[in-house]
A and B are shown apart, each in its own frame.
Chain A
Amino acid sequence: DSGVTQTPKHLITATGQRVTLRCSPRSGDLSVYWYQQSLDQGLQFLIQYYNGEERAKGNILERFSAQQFPDLHSELNLSSLELGDSALYFCASSVGGTSNQPQHFGDGTRLSIL
């Protein structure tokens, strides 16, 4: 058990809809990261938050947004969903945001767009 909790585990929805994925980091971790895992793109970094502030953006679409709340949990919002958004979305956390600190991953949310 990594200590990172993601909900829900599975989401099935239709094109054009909006969903929210939730992540609770390990106790004491200030950084939260979001990654997308798909068969064609592999594991791609989306965005990082540190103590409530956005730190880095990766290949995140404009239809996607995220935030980190004062209690350090994070949400990833995906809107105007397309078939290609079907993927496994992982949240990870680390104590700080420096390069030698390992990130600890949740079990992911599997999003299926019908």
Chain B
Amino acid sequence: GNSVTQMEGPVTLSEEAFLTINCTYTATGYPSLFWYVQYPGEGLQLLLKATKADDKGSNKGFEATYRKETTSFHLEKGSVQVSDSAVYFCALSDALQGAQKLVFGQGTRLTINP
């Protein structure tokens, strides 16, 4: 079945550092790809998405490019802030005969120190 693999955490960085969280996927067909973020005590918030190969999703300084040749959707940010501390989930949309479900990676906990 379809699956998503994220880099293992936790990841700890200093403020203003460059961030990369790796995400690779296995899928039949052409899934849409998403990054969600979960702040402590809250639900998942959509961070960005890409629906086809070579699409770049971006939001709040975060970017990710849908790479079909490497089956990857790595999350990047040029300069992180303390407020970016959260758990980040990579997900793909698995269409099942007109239905939809999200398949999530295991999540990567990110801590940014001032």
For residue A76, give the distance in angstroms from its CB to the closest CB of chain B. 15
From B15-23, B70-78, B92-100, give the one contacting chain A.
B92-100
From A13-21, A66-74, A78-86, A91-99, give the one contacting chain B.
A91-99
Kindly state whether residue B42 has any CB partner on chain A within 8 Å: yes
Residue of B45, B49, B93, B99 near A55 (CB, 8 A) is B99
**Is there an interface contact between B42 and A107, defined as CB atoms closer than 8 Å?**
yes
**Is there an interface contact between B101 and A48, defined as CB atoms closer than 8 Å?**
yes
| CB within 8 Å for A90 and B46 given contacts A42-B104, A98-B95, A100-B32 | no
* Least CB separation from B91: chain A residue: A43
Kindly state whether residue A31 has any CB partner on chain B within 8 Å: yes
Size class of the contact patch on chain A: 20 to 34
| CB within 8 Å for A102 and B49 given contacts A42-B107, A107-B43 | yes
**Is there an interface contact between B32 and A108, defined as CB atoms closer than 8 Å?**
no
Q: Given the complex of chains A and B, what is the CA–CA distance between A107 and B43 in angstroms?
A: 4
| B binding-site residues for A, Cβ under 8 Å | 31-32, 34, 36, 41-46, 49, 51, 89, 93-96, 98-107
